[in-house]
Amino acid sequence: MPPELLARLTAWFAEHPDLLGRPATDVQIEAAERALNVVFDAQYVAYIKRFGGSFAGFEIHAFDNGPMIGRETVTELTQWFRRSLDEDMPIELSDALVISGDGGGNAILIDSRGEIILHLHEENEMEVLSPSLYDMIGAGLP
């Protein structure tokens, strides 16, 4: 993680500890990767191993989320998303993880290239929000 982003996040969570989750473990990550048949993006892994499921400009779900984030794990959100689309799943999202939502019923995912994607559920269309998790956090963090 870039040092300047790490410093901003550390300061943010010092001011807002209720938005901070517990760090993810290798065991949790490996179990989720097996359950979902994916390999987690390296930036996402680095983030959740340090901050867990937390709020950094937007909710980022992991396994043990901060009290203000919600209890849904990345595994549960991704499984629900896959079931809800079933055969209508865009092939581009077959290895993506649901890490958040936009508050309007649309999933925010991180794909195998690390891009952050908004899935518009009514249209079953996608929109790239950011080229990477770190870019998304950096742009959204106050």
Q: What rounded mean pLDDT belongs to the chain? A: 95
Number of domains the chain contains = 1
Task: Residue 38: give its domain's CATH number.
Answer: 3.40.1580.10
Is this prediction's pTM over 0.85?
Answer: yes
Q: What digits encode the pLDDT tens for the residues 96-114?
A: 999 999 989 999 999 989 9
Residue 124 — pLDDT band, cuts 50, 70, 90?
Answer: confident
Report whether pLDDT(86) > 90. Answer: no
Domain around 30:
3-140
C-alpha of 47 from chain center: 9
Closest C-alpha to 15, from 55, 72, 52: 55
